[in-house]
């Protein structure tokens, strides 16, 4: 998607890259520590490299690493990764209206390359989908620039972590920088009371359910926030029917 000339020559491509550049240090720190954690868990350099490129999901990788170290069954590791990444089901449902005009392979590639921060930045830049071809191209170009920089940043920083795993202690906690970057973007999106309530409910539910296995507290947080917002959101009032403009007198 980011190698197509119509995308990388578009001004929105550069805008998407610039917006992602602001949070790139946090992603780089997160990727660096993920690479370190993979090697220190006993994975070989080749295994860590393949996991970085093929999985491309820091939270799922970090959730799977302790299970790999403990020799857990494969179905448990896959179920854990599935539960941790369930938020992307919500992302996909929201982005469906933006992407349905694209071929299936391009939708699948876009879904693979779209991460948390690229999704947040994209929806903040384009709150609503468009039927205009020029606007659709602008949206795709912006997402391509954002996703391209994010993916390259993650892969490069993870590879550096893999290469320097024996020199960087995990106690530095650099991975928390990625969480802070995501938190900063999320706070900037709480522009209404309902969004603030949903963020508070999700955070409280995630903490309350933290002891659940397989990172199910994330699913609990999403479900709680959606349920509360559905209860609080006021339904749109139906528009009154227009008065009949035909004459009201008796016809001859």
- Residue 220, pLDDT > 80, answer yes
Q: Which of 39-43, 145-149, 177-181, 245-249 has the lowest mean pLDDT?
A: 245-249
Say which residue, 69 or 93, is predicted with more confidence. 93
| Mean pLDDT to the nearest integer, 216-227 | 82
Could you tell me which residues come within 8 angstroms of residue 217 by beta carbon, excluding any fewer than 6 positions away?
205, 206, 207, 208, 209, 210, 211
The pLDDT value given to residue 159: 93
The pLDDT value given to residue 243: 46
Q: Give the separation between CA 15 and CA 37, rounded to whole angstroms.
A: 33
Say which residue, 245 or 137, is predicted with more confidence. 137
- Residue 244, pLDDT > 50, answer no
| Mean pLDDT to the nearest integer, 47-61 | 87
> Which residue's entry shows tokens 């602008």?
138
Give the per-residue SS3 of 152-170.
HHHHHHHHHHHHCCCCCCH
Determine phi and psi for 3, rounding to 5 degrees: -100, 0
- Residue 193, pLDDT > 90, answer no
The pLDDT value given to residue 158: 92
pTM beyond 0.85: the answer is: no
- Residue 250, pLDDT > 50, answer no
- Residue 240, pLDDT > 60, answer no
Q: What is the DSSP string of 161-223?
A: HHHTTTTS-GGG-TTHHHHHHHHHHHHHT--SHHHHHHHHHHHHHHHHTTTSGGGHHHHHHHH
Say which residue, 26 or 247, is predicted with more confidence. 26
The pLDDT value given to residue 235: 65
Percent of the chain with pLDDT over 70: 84
Q: Which of 4-8, 110-114, 175-179, 229-233 has the lowest mean pLDDT?
A: 175-179
Give the pLDDT band (50/70/90) at residue 71: confident
Q: Which of 102-116, 143-157, 173-187, 235-249 has the lowest mean pLDDT?
A: 235-249
**CA within 13 Å, CB half, 195:** 7
Q: Spell out a b/e string for 185-198, using b for 16 or more CB atoms within 10 Å of the CB, else e.
A: bbeeeeeeeeeeeb
| Mean pLDDT to the nearest integer, 51-62 | 85
């Amino acid at each position: 998607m980011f190698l197509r000339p119509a995308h990388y020559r578009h001004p929105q491509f550069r805008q998407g890259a610039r917006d992602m550049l602001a949070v790139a240090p946090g992603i780089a720190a997160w990727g660096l520590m993920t690479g370190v954690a993979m090697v220190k868990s006993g994975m070989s350099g080749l295994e860590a490299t393949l996991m970085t490129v093929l999985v491309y999901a820091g939270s799922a990788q970090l959730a799977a690493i302790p299970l790999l170290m403990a020799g857990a069954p494969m179905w448990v590791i896959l179920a854990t990764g599935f539960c941790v990444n369930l938020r992307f089901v919500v992302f996909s449902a929201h982005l469906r209206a933006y992407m349905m005009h694209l071929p299936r392979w391009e939708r699948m590639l876009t879904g693979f390359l779209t991460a948390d921060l690229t999704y947040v930045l994209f929806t903040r830049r384009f709150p609503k989908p468009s039927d205009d071809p020029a606007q659709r191209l602008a949206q795709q170009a912006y997402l391509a620039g954002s996703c391209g920089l994010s993916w390259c940043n993650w892969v490069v920083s993870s590879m550096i972590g893999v290469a320097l795993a024996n020199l960087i202690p995990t106690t530095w906690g650099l991975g928390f920088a990625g969480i802070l970057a995501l938190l900063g973007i999320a706070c900037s999106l709480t522009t209404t009371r309902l969004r603030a309530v949903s963020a508070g409910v999700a955070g409280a539910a995630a903490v309350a359910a933290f002891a659940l296995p397989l990172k199910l507290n994330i699913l609990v947080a999403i479900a709680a926030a959606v349920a509360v917002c559905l209860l609080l959101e006021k339904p749109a009032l139906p528009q009154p029917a227009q008065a009949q403009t035909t004459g009201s007198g008796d016809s001859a």
